[in-house]
């Protein structure tokens, strides 16, 4: 399937060659000329060397998802060429360093090569300027400009802005590399390339990755304490919170392990600070016991699990949605919990705020699922998004003995109709109380009496029903009367939505039912949406159809088709559309 | 709420269910004495209990109590103290929880110098699970899990704390409550991580390390020429217990010069629970490059 008015640039090389910052430059240039962008990365679990790629999709309409094609490849090493040779589209362009790639590459497409080849001595240009290869990437981006038919003015402005803080010499060297990279291509290669999209009317947007969206949302929600142990791909969230900790009065504590991280978080939350911990599945596995502690002590707790390919160490730097069932049932015994799975940057920003509110309102653990794909992809976040849409709601708090009303002694676990007991914080004037992991009576004292046990369990579990007032139905994208409904949850949202646009070109009407509130389901509001579906396909980044199983369990609903992917990569709209076209119509 | 006038005002609706004669009673009394003598407001104190006979103490005073998970009382106390530094935070736990299941937390809390007092009920046995060998059980100790006798050399809690850079390391005896009360008071007042390693007889399962055993071997270093200001000397002193003959009680080491975690934090950030979180402005975050 062909992309209209858009293209994908891939920059491939070894880790440490600066491909991420090249991606940023290109994104900035595109944004500056009014184009939309989406950046995603693919890299192995190592720091130097290895094969790394950053993809920049550029379009004149909003785009929220990767596509599986390369129009322009900048290959910074010979290996990159071999790996991506077949992915470059017909009449695409390969840019490479002549001195590094020894392979014979034709200027024009031929039998063995479907694309144009543009060889420029990026490294030699840089060495000519300051005896090092540090400006090779600048020369390469300039060559890309020639190939795209883009003017250099915007790039020059961005280089100036970015490096002026360091020194004028660095700006001048960059500009020199930029000019030479462009001129070499101009002198040695005909302008055989059609001018690409070089301006647009994009609505103003921020280009931020999922980890930033989550961290910014957490800051907005008033997170004051976070503790974590490093684990890919969750760590960037912690890093962002640490970076802004002084400005926003946050303590970010790196813990000795994930058990400590979640326990510190429970302690801080019990004290009354909004607190967050995060990890990927492996670290979450270690956190599990404390999840139940938050459950029985009714301590608000927000945990982010940024999923990656499992089981065990699995695919540390690849994406997957395979922890859903795990987080849903993690920890011994039964207690209420909430599981959310945002589908894009705006949902990440908003649902982390909702997570804190739900945790406080109902005094329970909330698990927010994201994944490597969302965590590391740089997405469009529209500038007109209302950043203050979600108000802080801390639920019922008691601040002193005066507020106890008729009660002489404060009962932390007072039996109430809705299961929510007014919460006091330690240090509240005149109030002392007990909380604990043992089953307890209303006063928090250890109690194994069977009647009390049943009453206390029922009180806690009642919260799962009470909270339904705060749980919306899944959102439907597209028309109502359609041939097929695509069901997405979490990060598969936009691949599904874009697939429906591709299907429309083949006269197949499709819509998307997207779930981001995963548990508990608001069954009364959701069932009617499922009942009106004629035919459906569920799209999940896992091998066993974990969400499909939940639909069967809670709604007795079975999608006719399922599309499961667990090769470590996110879904591409075209692969979804192709499968639907080939197998269902 | 006013400071306690006498110990009778400490009674809660539920009372300890330790075995008659348990060393925990001595620690319970000493801790309550210490809190009372320090005139701390009850609502400003939180006891964080580990799991086991010892940890249940957190439920049995009318100060705030949080019963946690096995081995995890320390990180919970750390988060709590960081979030609200106005609270006096005290960990009560045993040798199994603090030195077995949660040893990593113990060591890192030492070097973190977080401002909490850790009351280690060291009875050298797992009591609540009916008498298994613990990390501090004597070599050759026989139990249901080590019928042939323990092969592992016991851990030395004070020495561990010293190597992990703790700034307050002390030892006490559950059978000497006036002395233990003073040690606990000093631990609570210390600005930084404070360990009180307490020799605590388990009258039900440990027939070796009894009241009689300890009464003959403990000796108070408080009013002796020993000065708790030198780490190497403190290490040597703490190693006396390894002979099984001499158990020094008192303050083994105290370093008042090293800043506590709280000292480092309060220069940067206002107390967490006192900050208003309504209407936080985040727009500038989005506008950074």
Walk across the sheet containing A223-228 and list its strands. Answer: A251-254, A223-228, A274-279, A301-307, A365-371, A338-340, A517-519
pLDDT confidence bin for B3, thresholds 50/70/90: low
Q: Do A437 and B1 touch (CB under 8 A)?
A: no
Give the closest of B14, B108, B269 to A251, CB-based.
B269
Helix axes A122-130, A136-148, angle to 10 degrees: 130
For chain A, percent of residues with pLDDT exceeding 90: 90
Q: Do B69 and A290 touch (CB under 8 A)?
A: yes
CA-CA distances (angstroms) from residue A437 to A323, A362, A406?
25, 18, 28
Interface test with B, best of A273, A383, A389 (most B CBs within 10 A): A273
Supply the ipTM of this predicted assembly. Answer: 0.97
The β-bridge relationship of strands A536-540 and A378-382 is unpaired
Residue B17 CB contacts under 8 Å (≥ 6 apart), including other chains: B56
pLDDT confidence bin for B14, thresholds 50/70/90: confident
Per-residue pLDDT of A440-491, as tens digits, reads: 999 999 999 999 999 999 999 999 999 999 999 999 999 989 999 999 999 9
Q: Do A256 and B43 touch (CB under 8 A)?
A: no
Give the closest of A259, A432, A446 to B62, CB-based.
A432
- Residue ranges and CATH numbers for the domains of chain B are 7-287 (3.40.50.970)
Per-residue pLDDT of B187-231, as tens digits, reads: 999 999 999 999 999 999 999 999 999 999 999 999 899 999 999
Segment A528-555 mean pLDDT: 97
pLDDT confidence bin for A46, thresholds 50/70/90: confident
Task: Please check the confidence at residue A212 and state whether its pLDDT lies above 70.
Answer: yes
3-state secondary structure of A325: helix
B280 vs A: CB within 8 A: yes
Burial class (CB in 10 A: 0-12, 13-18, 19+), A507: exposed
B189 Cα to chain A: minimum distance (Å): 18
Q: Do B270 and A436 touch (CB under 8 A)?
A: no
DSSP B100: I
Q: Do B80 and A271 touch (CB under 8 A)?
A: yes
- Start and end residues for every CATH 3.40.920.10 domain found in chain A: 6-188
For chain A, percent of residues with pLDDT exceeding 70: 98
Q: What is the pLDDT of residue A1?
A: 46
Task: Please check the confidence at residue B28 and state whether its pLDDT lies above 90.
Answer: yes
Segment A518-541 mean pLDDT: 97
Q: Do A249 and B78 touch (CB under 8 A)?
A: no
Q: What is the pLDDT of residue A71?
A: 95
Q: What is the pLDDT of residue B279?
A: 95
Q: What is the pLDDT of residue A265?
A: 98
Per-residue pLDDT of A138-169, as tens digits, reads: 999 999 999 999 999 999 999 999 999 999 99
Q: What is the pLDDT of residue B11?
A: 65
Is CATH 3.30.450.20 the classification given to domain A6-188?
A: no
Give pTM, 2 decimals: 0.96
Interface of B with A in 62-91 (CB under 8 A): 62-69, 72, 75-84, 86-87
Chain B residue at shortest CA distance from A442: B13
B110 vs A: CB within 8 A: no
- Start and end residues for every CATH 3.40.50.970 domain found in chain A: 207-382
B105 vs A: CB within 8 A: yes
Supply φ then ψ for residue B96, to 5 degrees. Answer: -65, -50
Q: How far apart are CA A496 and CA A322, in angstroms?
A: 18
Give contacts of B58 with chain A, Cβ < 8 Å: 434, 436
Interface test with A, best of B71, B108, B285 (most A CBs within 10 A): B285
Q: Do B62 and A225 touch (CB under 8 A)?
A: no
Per-residue pLDDT of A110-127, as tens digits, reads: 998 999 999 999 999 999
Task: Please check the confidence at residue A47 and state whether its pLDDT lies above 80.
Answer: no
- Start and end residues for every CATH 3.40.50.920 domain found in chain A: 475-584
Q: Do A259 and B108 touch (CB under 8 A)?
A: no
Pick the CATH number of A475-584 from 3.40.50.920, 3.90.1150.10, 3.90.320.10, 3.30.450.40: 3.40.50.920
Is CATH 3.40.50.970 the classification given to domain A207-382?
A: yes
Q: Do A246 and B268 touch (CB under 8 A)?
A: yes
Q: Do A427 and B87 touch (CB under 8 A)?
A: yes
């Amino acid at each position: 399937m062909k992309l209209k008015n858009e293209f994908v640039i891939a920059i491939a090389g070894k880790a440490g060659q600066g491909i991420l910052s090249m991606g940023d430059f290109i994104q900035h240039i595109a944004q500056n000329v009014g184009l939309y962008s989406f950046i995603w990365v693919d890299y192995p679990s190592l720091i130097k060397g290895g094969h790394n790629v950053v993809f920049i999709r550029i379009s004149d309409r909003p785009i929220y998802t990767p596509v599986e094609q390369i129009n322009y490849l900048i290959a910074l090493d010979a290996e990159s060429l071999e790996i991506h040779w077949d992915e470059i589209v017909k009449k695409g362009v390969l840019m490479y360093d002549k001195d590094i790639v020894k392979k014979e590459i034709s200027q024009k497409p031929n039998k063995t090569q479907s694309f144009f080849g543009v060889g420029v001595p990026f490294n030699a240009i840089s060495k000519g300027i300051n005896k090092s290869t540090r400006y090779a990437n600048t020369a390469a981006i300039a060559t890309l400009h020639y190939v795209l038919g883009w003017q250099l003015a915007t790039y020059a402005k961005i280089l100036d802005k970015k490096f002026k803080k360091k020194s004028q010499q660095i700006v001048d060297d960059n500009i020199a590399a930029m000019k030479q990279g462009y001129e070499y291509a101009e002198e040695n290669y005909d302008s055989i390339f059609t001018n690409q999209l070089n301006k647009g009317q994009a609505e103003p947007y921020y280009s931020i990755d999922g980890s930033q969206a989550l961290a910014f949302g957490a800051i907005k929600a008033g997170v004051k304490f976070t503790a974590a142990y490093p684990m890919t791909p969750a760590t960037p969230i912690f890093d962002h919170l640490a970076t802004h900790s002084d400005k926003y009065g946050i303590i970010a504590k790196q813990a000795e392990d994930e058990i400590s991280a979640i326990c510190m978080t429970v302690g801080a939350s019990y004290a009354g600070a909004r607190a967050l911990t995060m990890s990927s599945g492996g670290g979450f596995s270690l956190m599990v016991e404390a999840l139940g502690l938050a459950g029985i002590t009714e301590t608000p707790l927000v945990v982010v699990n940024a999923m990656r390919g499992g089981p065990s160490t699995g695919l540390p730097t690849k994406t997957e949605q395979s922890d859903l069932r795990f987080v849903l049932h993690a920890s011994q015994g039964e207690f209420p919990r909430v599981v959310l799975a945002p589908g894009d940057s705006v949902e990440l920003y908003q649902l982390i705020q909702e997570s804190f509110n739900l945790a406080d309102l109902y005094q329970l653990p909330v698990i927010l699922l994201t994944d490597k794909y969302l965590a590391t992809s740089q997405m469009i976040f529209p500038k007109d998004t209302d950043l203050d849409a979600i108000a802080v709601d801390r639920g019922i708090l008691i601040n002193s003995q005066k507020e106890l009303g008729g009660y002489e002694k404060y009962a932390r676990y007072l039996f109430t109709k809705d299961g929510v007991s007014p919460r006091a914080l330690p240090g509240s004037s005149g109030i002392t109380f007990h909380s604990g992991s043992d089953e307890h009576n209303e006063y928090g004292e250890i109690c194994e009496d069977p009647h009390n046990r049943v009453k206390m369990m029922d009180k806690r579990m009642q919260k799962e029903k009470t909270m339904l007032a705060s749980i919306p139905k899944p959102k439907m994208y597209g028309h109502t009367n359609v041939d097929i409904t695509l069901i997405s949850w979490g990060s598969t949202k936009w691949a599904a939505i874009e697939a429906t646009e591709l299907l429309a070109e083949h006269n197949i009407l499709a819509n998307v039912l997207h779930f981001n509130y995963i548990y508990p389901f608001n069954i009364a509001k959701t069932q009617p949406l499922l009942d009106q579906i004629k035919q459906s396909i569920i799209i999940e980044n896992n091998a066993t159809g974990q969400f499909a199983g939940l639909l069967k369990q809670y709604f007795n609903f079975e999608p006719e088709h399922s599309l499961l992917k667990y090769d470590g990569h996110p879904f591409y709209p075209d692969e979804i559309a192709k499968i639907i076209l080939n197998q269902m119509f | 709420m006013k400071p306690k006038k006498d110990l009778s005002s400490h009674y809660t609706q539920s009372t300890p269910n330790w075995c008659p004669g348990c060393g925990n009673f001595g620690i319970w009394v000493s801790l309550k004495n210490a809190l009372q003598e320090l005139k701390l407001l009850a609502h400003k104190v939180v006891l964080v209990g580990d799991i086991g006979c010892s940890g249940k103490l957190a439920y049995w005073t009318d100060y705030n109590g949080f019963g946690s998970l096995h081995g995890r009382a320390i990180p919970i106390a750390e988060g709590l103290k960081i979030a609200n530094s106005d609270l006096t935070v005290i960990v009560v736990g045993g040798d199994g929880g603090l030195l077995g299941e949660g040893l990593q937390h113990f060591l890192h809390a030492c070097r973190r110098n977080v401002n909490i007092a850790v009351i280690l009920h060291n009875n050298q046995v797992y009591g609540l699970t009916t008498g298994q060998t613990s990390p501090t059980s004597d070599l050759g100790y026989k139990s249901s899990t080590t019928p042939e006798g323990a092969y592992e050399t016991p851990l030395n809690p004070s020495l561990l704390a010293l190597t992990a850079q703790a700034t307050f390391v002390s030892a006490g005896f559950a059978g000497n409550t006036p002395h233990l009360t003073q040690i606990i008071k000093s631990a609570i007042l210390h600005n930084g991580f404070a360990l009180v390693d307490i020799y605590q007889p388990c009258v039900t399962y440990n027939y070796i390390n009894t009241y009689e055993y300890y009464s003959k071997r403990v000796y108070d270093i408080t009013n002796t020429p020993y000065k708790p200001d030198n780490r190497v000397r403190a290490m040597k002193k703490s190693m006396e217990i390894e002979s099984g003959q001499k158990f020094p009680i008192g303050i083994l080491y105290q370093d008042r010069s090293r800043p506590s975690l709280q000292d480092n934090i309060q220069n940067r950030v206002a107390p967490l629970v006192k900050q208003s979180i309504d209407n936080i402005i985040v727009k500038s975050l989005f506008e950074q490059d």
